[in-house]
């Protein structure tokens, strides 16, 4: 297996498939998942001739279950450690949910200043800020995230099953085509990670203000989100991302859920390919 050790001694796991000289696409997973969440995209783009890379965030998947560093700054620094180890250039970074926040922080602070990034993609992403504040009146009240923490601490396994079976993929909607395989795969990935990392990750994805990250990014950036996203409301995410980015392209998908890259992989993959090749 492939690991990179960060400056603070954390072993970060990554997958690296495909021709070493091909353009690389780096995938950044959501909370509380792992690189495995990108199987449908990695196989698709591998077949198209790309080099595909996916990283397990610290405390997630096969990366070290360390006690500290469960915040956007460390997430982005860990990505940079992998990118620099592999010496990637002209790279496309694709992030889902919390992974979208990771992409924004990485591109703004590392990838773009180093000239390593060609394009970025934010899918159902958390920036600029999820929690409701005086300056972010459209955000989600902190009481909601406190509820997540209580349910998580009381019974993480059941909480993960409830999230995957319900709002994450829109399987709680009338007439939804429920996939037990997708639900079980989400649960498997979540339970494979660190409870401490995931608990502290709730604060990271909900309370990190990434307004300045988005303003800093100048590379072409595709924004993708469903208008039935029950986890990250698109009015306070994709719509604001489009306003803050200087070179953004906004795609809103009617009826698509938060985890649309899994439930509607054929549509998302085709649009990703068109953007990367444009």
List the catalytic residue out of 80, 97, 124, 206.
Answer: 97
What is the DSSP pairing of strand 221-226 with strand 11-17?
A: unpaired
List the catalytic residue out of 60, 229, 242, 261.
Answer: 229
- For the question of residue 97 being annotated catalytic, the response is yes
Distance (Å, rounded) from C-alpha 26 to C-alpha 14? 10
List the catalytic residue out of 93, 109, 198, 258.
Answer: 258
Distance (Å, rounded) from C-alpha 63 to C-alpha 194? 10
- SS3 assignment, position 28: strand
Distance (Å, rounded) from C-alpha 189 to C-alpha 161? 11
Residue 123 sits at φ, ψ, to 5 deg, of -110, 120
Q: Of 119, 98, 84, 85, whose CA–CA distance to 28 is shortest?
A: 98
- For the question of residue 229 being annotated catalytic, the response is yes
Distance (Å, rounded) from C-alpha 224 to C-alpha 31? 17
| Residues with catalytic roles | 97, 229, 258
């Amino acid at each position: 297996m492939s690991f990179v050790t960060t400056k603070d001694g954390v072993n970060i796991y990554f997958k690296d498939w495909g021709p070493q000289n091909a353009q690389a696409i780096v995938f950044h997973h959501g909370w509380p998942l792992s690189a495995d969440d990108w199987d449908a995209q990695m196989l698709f783009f591998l077949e198209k001739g790309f080099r595909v890379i996916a990283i397990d965030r610290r405390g997630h998947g096969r990366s070290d279950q360390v006690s500290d560093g469960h915040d956007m700054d460390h997430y982005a620094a860990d990505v940079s450690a992998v990118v620099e180890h592999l010496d990637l250039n002209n790279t496309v970074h694709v992030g889902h949910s919390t992974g979208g926040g990771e992409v924004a922080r990485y591109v703004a602070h590392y990838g773009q200043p180093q000239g390593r990034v060609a394009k970025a993609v934010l899918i159902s992403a958390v920036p600029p800020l999820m929690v409701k504040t005086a300056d972010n009146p459209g955000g989600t009240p902190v009481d909601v995230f406190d509820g997540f923490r209580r349910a998580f601490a009381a019974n993480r396994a059941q909480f993960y099953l409830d999230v995957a079976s319900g709002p994450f993929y829109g399987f709680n909607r009338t007439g939804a085509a429920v996939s037990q395989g997708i639900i079980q795969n989400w649960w498997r990935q979540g339970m494979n990670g660190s409870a401490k990392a995931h608990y502290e990750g709730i604060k990271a994805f909900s309370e990190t203000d990434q307004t300045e990250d988005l303003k800093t990014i100048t590379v072409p950036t595709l924004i993708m989100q469903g208008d039935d996203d029950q986890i990250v409301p698109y009015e306070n995410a994709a719509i604001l991302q489009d306003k803050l980015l200087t070179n953004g392209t906004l795609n809103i998908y009617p009826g698509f859920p938060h985890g649309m890259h899994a439930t509607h992989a054929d549509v998302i993959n085709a649009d990703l390919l068109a953007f990367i090749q444009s």
